[in-house]
Amino acid sequence: MLMMIAKRLGMAIPSLIGVVIVTFLLTRALPGDPAAYFAGPAATPQAIQEIRVKLGLDKPLIEQFGRYVVDLTHGNLGTSLTTGQPVATELRNRLPASAELTLLGLLVSIVIAVPLGILAATKPNSILDHTCRIISTLGVSLPVFFTGLVLVYVFYFLLGWAPPPLGRLDVFYTEPPHVSGFYLIDSLIAGDVPTFIASLKQLVLPALTLGIFSLAPIARMTRASMLAVLSSDFIRTARASGLSSYTVIVTYAFRNAMLPVITTLGMVFSFLLGANVLVEKVFAWPGIGSYAVEALLASDFAPVQGFVLTMAVLYVILNLLIDVLYGLIDPRVRLEA
Amino acid sequence: MKRRDLLKSMTALTAAAAVPAPAIWSSAKAQTRQETLLIVSESGPNNLDIHGVGTNVPGYEVSWNCYDRLITHEMKTLPNGTPYYDKTKFKPELAEDMNVGDLSATFKLRKDAAFQDGTPVTAKDVKWSFDRAVTVGGFPTFQMSAGSLTKPEQFVVVDDHTFRVDFLKKDRLTIPDLAVIVPCVINSELVKKNATPQDPWGLEYTKLNTVGSGAYRVTNWTAGSQVVLERNDKWKGGPLPKIKRVIWRIVPDAGNRRALLERGDADVSYDLPNKDFSELKNDGKLTIVSTPYSNGIQYIGMNVQHPPFNDVKVRYAVAYALPYQKIMDVVLYGLGKPMFGAAADTPTEVAWPQPHKFKTDLDKAKKLLAESGASNINVPISFDLGFAGVNQPICELVQESLAQIGITTTINKVPGANWRTELTKKNMPLFTNVFSGWLDYPEYFFYWCYHSGKSIFNTMDYQSLQMDTFIDGARAAAATGNWDSYDKDVKGFVDLAYTDMPRIPLYQPYVNVAMQKDISGYQYWFHRRLDYRTFVKA
Amino acid sequence: MSIVAASPPRENALAALIKHSRYVISENPVTGFAFALFVLIVLAAVLGPHLVPYDPLQSDTSEALKPPNLHHLFGTDQLGRDIFSRVVVATRLDFFIAVASVVLVFVMGGFAGVAAGFFGGWTDRIVGRIADTIMAFPLFVLAMGIVAALGNTVQNIVIATAIVNFPLYARIARAEANVRREAGFVEAARLSGNSDWRILAFQILPNVFPILVVQMSLTMGYAILNAAGLSFIGLGVRPPTPEWGIMVAEGAQFIVSGEWWNAFFPGAALMVAVFCFNLLGDGLRDMVDPRRRT
Amino acid sequence: MTADPALSVEDLSVQFRTRSGVVHALDNVSFSLAKGETLALVGESGSGKSVTAYAVMGILDSAGRVTGGRAMLGDLDLLSATPKQLADVRGRKIAMIFQNPRTALNPIRTVGRQIADMLIRHGGVSRRAAPAHAVEMLRAVGITDPARRAKAYPFEMSGGMCQRVMIAIALAAKPSLLIADEPTTGLDVTTQAVIMDLIGDLASDLGMATIFITHDLALAGQRSSRIVVMHAGHVVENAQTKDLFANPRHPYTAELIAATPDSAQNLDALSAIPGSLPDLRRADLPPCRYSERCPRKVAACAQPLPQAAPGASHIVACWNALPDRAQAAYPPAVSAA
């Protein structure tokens, strides 16, 4: 198992290097001039040039890249122009917000999509199957920001069931003491049930928005994988053995069918991290997605680079976790590795 | 619109029936809420110090409320009842007395004033702060220079509580310039302790910490998300503010901001789309205050150095082609003061802004364009995406109108952060923009916008010796109180601006603020941001 | 089901395809519905500007923000433009974005993937690395970055969408080519003296093609969503060009004030199109490879 | 035959609906077997042997549909039984073992637990006691070191061992009928014999009737007392094993016997059966599905197949059967309906 992890990490290194290079080049190609930004509204061209020299922006690209890499190895991701704070600090502060939201969104999606997929697979090509397919396809056919806005309009503005879309916690609650950075977890650790409820309420709509968006891939994969497993030899054996349909579907088929679904979850998570960017904007969510969008539009290099790098690292870690999880479920992987 | 009404009544019904989230607040929390002002806006500060590098406009609001200046403005009341700063009358803030001489002004500081860490405010701090403003460069230094405050030698510590500003020359903007946001007084000892050799003015420290003697201090700031300010109970610059805590949340989506206001969750917002303001105003559930920008104009600018707009006839053609009234109707919803279509016999006034005499007349526009001989004009029309709500429909309407006289345009959205970079380059042929000067004097506006100096707000790259003469003349005359000459020069530059027409004023925008009915005490300031100190929550 | 091992009767290939399609549609009526929708979308894309009652760019401030009525089926927008006309005319641009980006990625990803699968070795490694690197980005953010860096044009939106989908196509093509490399008919072609390139062009590509075509339909939906998302954060097509995404994004500000039709109709059009492409993709997959249906 | 058969299949017809048309997979298949009897279902692949077994077990895949007939297990018609009745019968009264034992077992569940699942479901064994019983079962099917093997996964075991496990699963509830579908396919020759012996021994120990499905006529001859020959979904001949070999009457059976490699026969005599199975999707299937490859085709073959005489012990469905050597003096053993 450890060997496998090490091997996976080794394989991830080239793509991380690729990410660093691509991000660097991409951000340098952004329009806008940080020197002009720093120099302020009334700057003379000379003043801008001075600042350019100070920021090292007059150096050849390759030298700038060298400096960037050296900074990276020291854990220095630079400072954001727009917010004026070190990127590493801000990413650290904002990452839990995004992670909590995305994970919950994924959870919502799994809770809805997996049963849908199973239902569809048990009766392929029935009305039920078509309905499941239409529901999940509809979910992925709506722009995620549109879904979010409509949910806010209906559940907050019209019905008043949801709290105002004002970020992670109602303004009159204080955040729970920082342990994991996840308000749901931290508030429980602190035994603060009202805060737990308040932060859960804030999470419901954005998580639902993300969940709806990612129904389709999970439901499809569950259905396909369930169909494949249900027609496999060992399910035939189980059915011929007269095991109860619950045992056949849940203990035998479902657990086997989950293996490809878990792999898909990795992709879906990455997909959701992208969608998050838009959802965070709608719900004023203080996550890294909204941070990156603002920075990108402002041609603010450092946060964009930091964000992409964080995402790439997350992606690698996530895939690793999935491999580990896969190994836990599937003895073939665990015992043969 | 029956459906709308239905929706509204539904909203009211459900609002009454729904178990409101705040029900779980304890009475203590309700109490807190009573003393807390919740503001929602589109964007937040990027720096808590106005002297900082690249501090944005929301950052000014923090500075205004967290730092004191030597002097500030008196209030007057507009005909509609809105308190409005009086540009001619000053009152002490940190100073208890001001004595303006011929070439200097002397200030006596309050003896009881103290910074929030308890250190008394002394003349030393004032000098350090002013030295900083004229030295750090960028916006603060430029703003100081607008009042002819450029050298540290001008700032003299007489004794601990006496401070003198020496004038380099007579300038009627010097005293007003001491009441703007920039010359704020900073706790110099505290900042020096946190300064580094690379950063002798401690800008990194004040970026994150408010270290003034002002009425509020920032206790929590998450960039792009929220700012929390707590009242300084020992504030001496004025009567103790009623609001104990201000929570300023950043809500990027305008629809959500309106929803928050309408449902009573937010107390104040000042950057909704005009349409929302106009509807909320008619709706009557909220208090809406609309005040024209002092010394501000939204305009269509043209680069006069390059074809096709180097030809004044083409500029006239554009001025006759603009869909002024359409813009007033569907972009502003009437929340703006027209700056076009003055009657032909209207005399030029000694005031700014004032309307020009062009109005939409496509035939005239076509004729002028034909006379100019320009053809096949195809230019981008640019706008600042940061204010897309107004700028984009303006550009779309302008594009449509210009197409009718044969000028083809493509709309070019410039992200907010790049807008100033683009302005600096002075190569956008056609654009819309808004400019408003803090100091409400015509010559101040013209100095920024029409003088052939290096101001980036002369976005048309307009260069005219005659214009420079008028502007410089007006400034000199104002300084010496030669009002006849002043009036002549002001009329001169206004007339010239409307004769050469490098930029076409559209309207004077309004500052709109929406508040819950139980909120009062809003005041209009030249900087157009909120002053928390006078707000009251009933 | 070992019983159908017998070879199917020979039929005219076209007749067989029609018969098979009819079967797929009868088995899956949703696909038939999606196909009908698709025809409608194509018609709107081709004929759109000739079908609409108003000039989609023509403002009429006296008619601004009118709710749907007989003259304006979908109502009017802030500048009094007819939303119905804008929605219909927008079909062409959205369809173009979808098709162009998909064709582009089909060519890029398809060739790279086939080459990687067929030649293996360094080609495979390089293509694999590029795909891995792209995959490590959150896709939407990468698309944003590309459009922000290259500039805000339709062309760049198309390029960005193609790039973020590259790994998907490259991988599918690679896997298919890899399997077929060892297949009997390729072996036979090789033994009869065909060059690698000939084999690639005449034996491998035609076999990989159908699998990728299925993917194309699914990606078309994604392309439209992607463009809409870019519009929402201000990176989409230039105003006042009608495009569904930007119309939804701009209409969103009118939802709370009750002018729901601004966002609703373009949103519905967008949803219907994406929905149709997705369902069609499913159906195509059934036709091309019955067992692969997921 | 016997008054109280273990299983009696009457006129079983099955169709499959596929994307290329309806497959007439089984057509009026009838046979029965007595308690304790071993019957072999023999035919080429695609002849419908397995489909017959699946139809009886109620585990046809979803495209398959029983269009007629009965399968009586005691008083219960398996074909019209409710899913619950079926589930109670399966494993308890009829069990089935399959070919390719390695894929026919749940890959991510230890074999011990798979046996325990059956014991808990049918054997009245408590959850707590089941693991120990499972070990006993493994011992009973001749697995060495059963306690350790119970914790192994199928992929860790050889094919032979997996088949033993499957037998253990099948016999866990001591059923009265075992269907063994090509139980030795995929096993090496020595293992094949061992497994067949094991099945035979356990069947006689338990007094169990056995249906043995195979394409290997010689193996069927060694292991069964009665043979049912199937071709393209029809039963073409049904006779006592000795009788069948001594006196094959259907031309197809005769060809099969001739094609069977037998140590007694010269390899040169091995002849292949000409032609292949007809396409069962055809709408114009001839009444006798062998007629198109039959060397003895006569005009009568265009009529519906002859009906078996009630109570006949040697049934042949052919208008032009080979002469009955045992009863050559008599007219054909079948008569027209």
The yes-or-no verdict on residue B215 having pLDDT over 50 is yes
B393 and C257 in contact by Cβ < 8 A? Answer: no
How far, in Å, CA of A264 to CA of A275, rounded? 16
How far, in Å, CA of A239 to CA of C109, rounded? 43
> How close is the nearest chain C Cα to the Cα of B317, in Å?
21
- C52 phi/psi in degrees, rounded to 5: -85, 150
Within 8 A of B133 by CB-CB distance, chain A residues are: none
Q: What confidence category does residue B25 fall into, taking pLDDT thresholds of 50, 70 and 90?
A: very low
> How close is the nearest chain A Cα to the Cα of D155, in Å?
7
> How close is the nearest chain B Cα to the Cα of A108, in Å?
23
Report chain B residues touching chain C, CB-CB < 8 A: 1, 3-4, 7-8, 253-256, 258-259, 262, 273, 275-276, 279, 325-326, 329-331, 385, 388-389, 392-393, 395-397, 399-400, 410-413, 415
D18 and C4 in contact by Cβ < 8 A? Answer: yes
CB atoms under 10 Å from CB of B374, counted, come to 19
Within 8 A of A54 by CB-CB distance, chain B residues are: none
Q: What confidence category does residue D85 fall into, taking pLDDT thresholds of 50, 70 and 90?
A: confident
**CB of B397 within 8 A of CB of B326?**
yes
Task: Say whether the C–A interface has 3 or more Cβ pairs within 8 Å.
Answer: yes
**Which tens digit of pLDDT belongs to each residue from B382-418?**
998 888 889 999 999 999 999 999 999 999 988 776 7
> Which residue ranges of chain A lie beneath pLDDT 50?
337
Residue type, B450: Y
How far, in Å, CA of D319 to CA of D327, rounded? 17
How far, in Å, CA of C140 to CA of C130, rounded? 17
Which of C1, C171, C271 to mutate to test binding with chain A, by most A CBs within 10 Å of its CB? C271
Instruction: Output the pLDDT for position B17.
Output: 39
Give which of B125, B117, B111, B116 is closest to B69, Cα–Cα: B125
The yes-or-no verdict on residue C48 having pLDDT over 50 is yes
Give which of D29, D38, D32 is closest to D232, Cα–Cα: D29
Q: Please name the residue ranges forming H helices in D81-228.
A: 83-89, 111-122, 130-140, 146-149, 159-171, 189-206, 217-223
Within 8 A of C256 by CB-CB distance, chain B residues are: 255-256, 258-259, 262, 276
> B421-430 burial, b for 16+ CB within 10 Å, e for fewer?
bbbbeeebbb
CA B169 to the chain's CA centroid: 27
- Shortest CA distance from C153: residue in chain B: B412
- The least confident of A261-265, B196-200, C194-198, D219-223 is C194-198
How is chain A split among helix, strand and coil, in percent rounded to 5?
75, 0, 25
Where in B238-335 does DSSP place strands (E)? Answer: 245-250, 268-269, 286-292, 296-302
Q: A25: part of which helix (H) or strand (E)? A: helix A2-28
Higher-confidence residue: C101 or D278? C101
Instruction: Output the pLDDT for position B363.
Output: 94
How far, in Å, CA of C3 to CA of D52, rounded? 12
Q: B24: part of which helix (H) or strand (E)? A: none
**CB of D91 within 8 A of CB of A242?**
yes
D23 touches chain C (CB under 8 A): yes
Torsion of CA C75, C76, C77, C83, to 10 degrees: 70
Q: What confidence category does residue C294 fall into, taking pLDDT thresholds of 50, 70 and 90?
A: very low
> How close is the nearest chain A Cα to the Cα of D23, in Å?
19
The yes-or-no verdict on residue B182 having pLDDT over 50 is yes
Instruction: Output the pLDDT for position A20.
Output: 87
> How close is the nearest chain A Cα to the Cα of C190, in Å?
34
C254 touches chain A (CB under 8 A): no
A181 touches chain B (CB under 8 A): no
Reduced to 3 states (helix: H, G, I; strand: E, B; else coil), residue B151 is coil
- B288: tokens are 């809406």
**Which tens digit of pLDDT belongs to each residue from B265-299?**
899 998 888 889 998 989 889 999 999 988 999 99
- Shortest CA distance from C3: residue in chain D: D46
Mean pLDDT of D199-203: 88
> How close is the nearest chain B Cα to the Cα of A119, in Å?
35
Give which of C52, C35, C39 is closest to C88, Cα–Cα: C52
- B337: tokens are 């003061």
Burial (CB < 10 A; 0-12, 13-18, 19+), residue B80, is: exposed
Chain mean pLDDT for chain B: 88
Burial (CB < 10 A; 0-12, 13-18, 19+), residue A195, is: buried
Q: What confidence category does residue B89 fall into, taking pLDDT thresholds of 50, 70 and 90?
A: very high
- D57: tokens are 């077990």
Give, as one character, the DSSP assignment of residue D335.
Answer: B
Instruction: Output the pLDDT for position B328.
Output: 94
A32 touches chain B (CB under 8 A): yes
Residue type, D185: T
Q: Which one of A236, A238, A332 has the shortest CB-CB distance to D107?
A: A332
Task: Say whether the B–D interface has 3 or more Cβ pairs within 8 Å.
Answer: no
The yes-or-no verdict on residue D329 having pLDDT over 60 is no
> B329-349 burial, b for 16+ CB within 10 Å, e for fewer?
bbbbbebbbbbbebeeeeeee
Q: Which one of B32, B40, B138 has the shortest CB-CB distance to A39?
A: B138
CB atoms under 10 Å from CB of D313, counted, come to 12
- Shortest CA distance from D89: residue in chain A: A242
Q: Identify the top-confidence range among C136-145, C207-216, D319-328.
A: C136-145
Q: What confidence category does residue C3 fall into, taking pLDDT thresholds of 50, 70 and 90?
A: very low
Strand partners, D95: D178
Task: Give the whole-number percent of chain D exceeding pLDDT 90.
Answer: 10
Q: Which strands, in side-by-side order, build the sheet including D64-73?
A: D21-33, D7-18, D64-73, D76-77
Cis? peptide before C68, omega within 30° of 0: no
C102 touches chain D (CB under 8 A): no
How far, in Å, CA of B1 to CA of B399, rounded? 31
Find all residues with CB under 8 Å of A116, minimum gap 6, and list them: A132, A135, A136, A215, A219, A222, A223
Which of A241, A252, A261, A334 to mutate to test binding with chain D, by most D CBs within 10 Å of its CB? A241
> How close is the nearest chain B Cα to the Cα of A306, in Å?
16
Interface of C with A in 206-225 (CB under 8 A): 221, 225
> How close is the nearest chain B Cα to the Cα of A100, in Å?
17
How far, in Å, CA of B203 to CA of B21, rounded? 41
Give which of B252, B265, B261, B257 is closest to B288, Cα–Cα: B261
The yes-or-no verdict on residue B337 having pLDDT over 70 is yes
Torsion of CA A134, A140, A143, A148, to 10 degrees: 90
**CB of B509 within 8 A of CB of B434?**
yes
Q: What confidence category does residue C7 fall into, taking pLDDT thresholds of 50, 70 and 90?
A: very low
How far, in Å, CA of B382 to CA of B459, rounded? 12
Which of B400, B410, B414, B418 to mutate to test binding with chain C, by most C CBs within 10 Å of its CB? B400
D65 touches chain C (CB under 8 A): no
Within 8 A of A253 by CB-CB distance, chain D residues are: none
Q: What confidence category does residue B497 fall into, taking pLDDT thresholds of 50, 70 and 90?
A: very high
Higher-confidence residue: B103 or B21? B103
CA B61 to the chain's CA centroid: 10
Within 8 A of C154 by CB-CB distance, chain B residues are: none
Give which of A326, A307, A278 is closest to A90, Cα–Cα: A307
The yes-or-no verdict on residue D268 having pLDDT over 50 is no
Give which of D267, D142, D131, D156 is closest to D195, Cα–Cα: D142
How far, in Å, CA of C105 to CA of C118, rounded? 19
Instruction: Output the pLDDT for position D328.
Output: 46
How far, in Å, CA of C42 to CA of A103, rounded? 39
Handedness of CA B496, B499, B503, B508 (dihedral sign): positive
Instruction: Output the pLDDT for position B403.
Output: 93
**Which tens digit of pLDDT belongs to each residue from D134-149?**
998 898 888 889 999 9
